[in-house]
Structure 1
C-alpha cells in the first residue's frame, strides 16, 4: 500500500491545536486526569503481564504519568525511563522512585525530569514487554501523532530492527482519540490507548488470539 505524505502545514496546525487544548486545562483537571489515567493504564493486560515497561515522565500539560510510574513499581514491574541524547535519540535508565529523578536541561527544549541512575544504552528498550508512548493523538486505526521530535520514531525503528514486539500503548486525554491523523510510511500502529475514561484497543491483548 502506498501512503501519500501528509501536508506538513496541516500536520503542524493539528499539533498546534492539540497543544493549545492541553495548555487550556486547569491544574485541577490535570491532577484528576492523571489519577484516572493511572487507573486505566494499570488495568491493561499488556501492563499487568509485563515484567519490564518502558515509560516516560510527563512534563507540562501532558497526560500525567507520575502516579502511573509509582503504580507500576508497586506492582513489581521494572520501569525504564528515557534520557534524551544530543541527537534526539533516547538512552534508558531504571526508575527507582521519585527521588531518583533529576531535572535535566537540553538546549532549545523544555526542562525534563530524567532518571539519575546508570545509563543502560539505547538498545535497552528492546527488552521491554510494553512501551508507553507519548503522543498528541491516535486515530481509530491505531496510528499515532507525535510531537515531531523524532525520538520515538527512532525507538520504534530500533524495536523493528531488533525483531522486538512489545505492546505499544499511547497515553492521551479522551478527546485526543480522533477519527484520523496524518500518516507517513514509517509510522507504526499501536495496540491500545489509555485515557482517563478507559481504554481503546486496536488489537487483542498481548498473548490473546
Structure 2
C-alpha cells in the first residue's frame, strides 16, 4: 500500500476512536513512558503538542515539566521546518498560524533539537522491523529527526494497531528507535 492510502486508512481508524478510548490509550502510553529510566533521566526533551486523534501529549508534557525536565515544543516555520521553544506551563502556549498550540517563549532555532536527550514525535505508523515512521507527508519531522544524534532515543507515539509490518519508505524518511503504544514500548529489530 502506498503512503497516501496508508495515511487515509490510519486516519480513518483514528476517526472511529471514541473519546474514552483516546483518553485511556493516552494515559496508558504516558505512564509507560514515564516509567522508562531513559525518560526519567532526560533533562531536555523535545516533544509536540498533540492535536485531534493523535495520542495525547498534553498530560505527558505537563508531567515531564513538573518533574523538572526542560521541554521544548515545535514552532512551525513558513518553509515547513521546525523551530523550537521552551514549554513553561499551560499558560505558555498560544495558537500558531495553523491553529496548533505553540510555546510563546523565545525561539531556540531549528538546531535546538540537537541538544535534546529524548525526542518524542508524532506518527501515523511505524514499521516494526525498520523503524521507518509514517508522518502526515509534510516532511517537518523528517527534517527535525535528521538533526538528532544517533544515540538519542527517538520515540513515535502510536495507538494500538499502528505498529506495522511494512511501512513504505523513501530516502528522506527518518527512522525512530522506539514506538510507544498503550501496551508498551516497541524497539524495531533493525535500524
- Provide TM-score, normalisation by structure 1: 0.85
What corresponds to 1:185 in structure 2? 171
What corresponds to 1:48 in structure 2? 40
| Other structure's SS at 1:190 match | coil
What corresponds to 2:73 in structure 1? 81
Q: Hey, what's the Cα distance between the residues in 1 that align with 2:23 and 2:97?
A: 24
Aligned-residue Cα RMSD (Å) equals 1.5
1:93 aligns with 2:88: no
1:151 aligns with 2:143: no
What corresponds to 1:206 in structure 2? none
User: Does 77-86 or 182-191 show the bigger shift?
Assistant: 182-191
Q: Hey, what's the Cα distance between the residues in 1 that align with 2:187 and 2:36?
A: 10
1:197 aligns with 2:156: no
Structure 2 residue corresponding to 1:24, chosen from 16, 19, 25: 16
Q: CA deviation at 1:199?
A: 1.1
Equivalenced residue count is: 188
What corresponds to 1:3 in structure 2? none
Q: Rg: which structure is higher?
A: 1
Q: CA deviation at 1:158?
A: 2.6
Q: CA deviation at 1:164?
A: 6.1
Pair 1:47–1:14, CA change in 2 (3 A): same
What corresponds to 2:29 in structure 1? 37
Gaps of 5+ in 2: none
Gaps of 5+ in 1: 1-6, 204-209
Output one character per residue of 1:167-208: Cα deviation in whole Å (capped at 9) or x when no partner.
1111000110111100122323221111112111237xxxxx
What corresponds to 1:126 in structure 2? 114
